[in-house]
Amino acid sequence: MTFYCLLHLQENEHSAVNFKALDFDDQIKTYVRCAVNLSRSLALEDQQLVVLTNRQDTVRAVAEAVGGQLSVQEIAFITKVPQGTRFYSAHFKLDCYRYFATLPSPDSAPFAALIDIDTICANPLPASFMTNVRLGQPMAYDISDQALPAYGEAPIRTDLKRIHGMESEGRWYGGEFICAPPAFYGQLMEVIDRIYDNYIAHLDLLHHVGDEAVTSAAFEVLARQGVAVADAGTLGIVGRYWNCRLRHPQRSFDYLGKAAILHLPHDKPFLAGLARRPQLSHADFARLYDGYRRDALVRRLGRMVTAVQNGFRAFRTHVSNPLLDRLGLQRLKTRLRRWLAA
């Protein structure tokens, strides 16, 4: 089997997600370095990564410039995406599915896994992964337990109904992992080609746009047709960890960090920085990321303390000491001042 990631480059479009690039060149370098790091991590498990792109020469040149080696392939991108659409480049994952459907299928059909460029193979691939590959069982990442608390059940069910035209249970799949044989991608694209016009027609009404919306709707159609997709999340194959404040409850890193393919959407600069180092073992990555997470936590706490300090100064300016005494807040003010000065 082969792992793939998408790097679709389109200047002046919404293609830099969850990080701030200095300019388009900086954005390309960050993504290419992430791909180099991902490729090296998969090599630890004897797995190959191929970068699918619309600008093969550019990606190869940048990879060489940053001291990395990548297998790069240019494919046709025919999906129509209106200019200015959020998650613009992510929509072209649909063309990756279309490409996978054309791969040759001998008796042992090749599996194609599409994973996000800001992932890393952080742990050995579990036996469940290879078992599903041998059985020809498609896999995807069900993140309903993350999406529903963050965005609400009703908006998600409404979005999916608008796309596929059926009553929906509201199940949502992450775009960072899908793994299947070519025949499944053929089935998937048959459905997507039927519902994509609905998606575009309702684009301005949808709460969430991008490949996840279209793919989740298509998966629900396939499920009604009896096509089973295994959840790679509960099997420990993939996990998404947000190293920042969230709208939804998140499992601890002690749990999510055990996944083989770890998605770190908020930490692209960190992943890109790893490409400057020699190839890292899984243990090396765990040690470095643990330190990075601790530093990030300290920075967040520092910002919180600064906000408390500023709020307290404003409060002290507008409230007199006698009033503070009557409210029993003078002692609190003194304690806060001592704590903030410590």
For the chain, how many residues are written? 342
What's the pLDDT score for residue 248?
83
Residue (of 279, 292, 290) closest to 36 by Cα position: 279
Helix/strand/coil for 2: strand
Chain segment 94-142, per-residue pLDDT in tens? 999 999 999 986 555 589 999 999 999 999 999 999 999 999 999 999 9
Tokens of 66: 């940053």
φ and ψ at residue 231, rounded to 5 degrees: -85, 110
Q: What confidence tens digit (pLDDT) does each residue in 163-192 have?
A: 999 999 999 999 999 999 999 999 999 999
In the chain, % of residues over pLDDT 70: 84
For the stretch 310-342, pLDDT in tens is 665 555 565 555 555 555 555 666 666 665 555
CA distance 246 to 250: 8
> Which residue from 87, 51, 54, 86 is spatially nearest to 69, judged by alpha carbons?
51
pLDDT score of 46 more than 60: yes
Provide the β-strand partners of residue 119: 263
HSE-CB of 316 using CA atoms within 13 angstroms: 13
β-strands 173-180, 230-231 pairing:
unpaired
Q: What is the Cβ-side half-sphere exposure of residue 307, based on CA atoms within 13 angstroms?
A: 6
